[in-house]
Structure 1
């Protein structure tokens, strides 16, 4: 618009001379009374000067002349929010979005309106859409602001509650926003959760919590190497939380890196020494590495922290079967089954019952495994001091030369148990 009054009005508005701007726009409208743009600009000047009702009147006049004006619809919505006319504001902002589906500020304003109306989930959806559009427009600052609003709207973080499963420890987030994404992943929407986390990291590549969260989701998807990469990045960004070490340890264990997993679980326990879940996870790593005594010690420690941890009982029972201590294994299986029954966790309950039925049929699968079992049993009998066991073995080798190593181990075990009246 080349009207001289209109141009002077724009200049005065830039200088924050709103009274002068209103006067100039009024002169422009006397010359061109059907100028929607002049009404919009005068409305903005009224709004900035605090005359909200006059601003709404001008935006309405602009829409009368130009009903498809995105700017007039958005500006009137903004003014109506200031006047607490939330239904009118929602109607205007929805019109602006229909006219321009890529209007990031309109989605942001819609989120504000819906939050004020108490529809939190709809508000979150609007802020998320605004964040996506801001990100596409490379407006990372406004994108971060939208993410911050989303986080503020999430419910308070729930305390970690141990979950009794055989496959993994429960996932724990570091703040409420990521809690929602992780719950989404738990329900099976892992691809959507990953997509959400990807655009969070596009907005802020230094968000260590987002890397941790994405690592947990990738671990759930079975992408253990990618998960480890995310946990590594979280640690590089100095997010040294127990949840990072615990979940990276889980991923390393599932990849067969038992010693690396144990190192991670050690780190997690330094941060959270009373975390029963980490003791169970480290016990699983010890068991996978063939250290059944270490595994039993960790499961026992977990049970000292949480006496009703069915997972710890079940896994300790497995470790006892490897040591051929079947009575202890049966006792642990029965205790696990009772807890699962009380919780009405029928899937795990039946799995424990199946293990109980098979326990009498358990046998070592290889010569090496038989040797490992005998080695562990003898180590327990001598209190963990292998030097004592070695001397006893050497004595048997002197008395009975030419026998197999397994024979010597069994002989020493039999003699010690007989002497102790077992």
Structure 2
């Protein structure tokens, strides 16, 4: 009966009916007061309802009944972070690392804490560790997420120090393109790609410049490189668009050679 009530509550919570889910979990707790799972599940429902303090109280009770639950420490760490109790969140994550040194979720959450504290280098280190775990599991999608997140943090770090981010620099490149200063814009893209050879937008901008200069093979090469970078970042939609542009350029080349 305990598992039936818990499963009913889980189904209702998944459908967004948190009030009904809480009722089921509360009944499970009343019938089975030693159920660590029922407290944990009610904590999740409280958290999703915006009742963070109640969620933490249930996570506490669940851990009192079973102190080895990684999922509960992770959920409580997230709840602590929500109410800006950063130190308690860090302590919970330290416990998680002691129980499972390969917990990818803990590394990503710890990285988020570092970002909040503006400890950008430490955040990158935690994400690299998560990426390593995903690589060993051959989880390419999650690994791409870590790579993309690291690049975002690197840009945040530059902005925080008062520097010019890639995005701002590319906006300046776009202005030069619109003003017809294609040679200057091309030099700027080349310079940026020397600094950051994984900037998909820089390759895309350079491809557009080469199109304007009617340098079609170079444009196709840039678009293909941009597509690869977007794919690595997990942006498959943009990658597919650029692959389509490469195909169009190839067809144009074939058509012109047959004239």
TM-score of the superposed pair, with normalisation by structure 2: 0.60
Secondary structure at the counterpart of residue 193 of structure 2 = coil
Q: 2:69 matched to which residue of 1? A: 69
The answer on whether the counterparts of 1:52 and 1:79 sit within 8 Å (CA) in structure 2 is yes
Supply the distance in 2 between the matched residues of 1:64 and 1:98 (Cα, whole angstroms).
18
Matches within 5 A, 1:5-24: 5-24=5-24
Structure 1 residues 208, 120: CA separation in 2 closer, same or farther (over 3 Å shift)?
Answer: closer
Matches within 5 A, 1:10-409: 10-154=10-154, 155=158, 156=163, 174=193, 178=196, 235=221, 238-239=224-225
1:31, CA displacement in angstroms?
1.4
1:20, CA displacement in angstroms?
0.5
User: CA-to-partner distance for each residue in 1:283-337, whole Å, 9 max, x for gaps?
Assistant: xxxxxxxxxxxxxxxxxxxxxxxxxxxxxxxxxxxxxxxxxxxxxxxxxxxxxxx
Figure out how many residues of one structure are paired with residues of the other and give that number: 179
The answer on whether the counterparts of 2:107 and 2:126 sit within 8 Å (CA) in structure 1 is yes
Q: 2:246 matched to which residue of 1? A: none
Supply the distance in 2 between the matched residues of 1:25 and 1:132 (Cα, whole angstroms).
37
The answer on whether the counterparts of 1:208 and 1:235 sit within 8 Å (CA) in structure 2 is no
Supply the distance in 2 between the matched residues of 1:59 and 1:175 (Cα, whole angstroms).
49
Supply the distance in 2 between the matched residues of 1:54 and 1:175 (Cα, whole angstroms).
52
Supply the distance in 2 between the matched residues of 1:37 and 1:75 (Cα, whole angstroms).
13
TM-score of the superposed pair, with normalisation by structure 1: 0.38
Supply the distance in 2 between the matched residues of 1:175 and 1:88 (Cα, whole angstroms).
42
User: CA-to-partner distance for each residue in 1:339-368, whole Å, 9 max, x for gaps?
Assistant: xxxxxxxxxxxxxxxxxxxxxxxxxxxxxx
Supply the distance in 2 between the matched residues of 1:58 and 1:128 (Cα, whole angstroms).
33
Could you say which structure has the larger radius of gyration? 1
1:37, CA displacement in angstroms?
1.2
Q: Which runs of 5+ in 2 are unaligned?
A: 167-189, 204-217, 227-259
The answer on whether the counterparts of 1:34 and 1:65 sit within 8 Å (CA) in structure 2 is yes
Structure ranking higher on relative contact order (CA contacts 8 Å, 6+ apart)? 2
Supply the distance in 1 between the matched residues of 2:40 and 2:165 (Cα, whole angstroms).
47
Supply the distance in 1 between the matched residues of 2:66 and 2:194 (Cα, whole angstroms).
46
Q: 1:303 matched to which residue of 2? A: none
Structure 1 residues 91, 173: CA separation in 2 closer, same or farther (over 3 Å shift)?
Answer: farther
1:172, CA displacement in angstroms?
6.4
Q: Which runs of 5+ in 1 are unaligned?
A: 160-170, 180-206, 213-231, 241-422
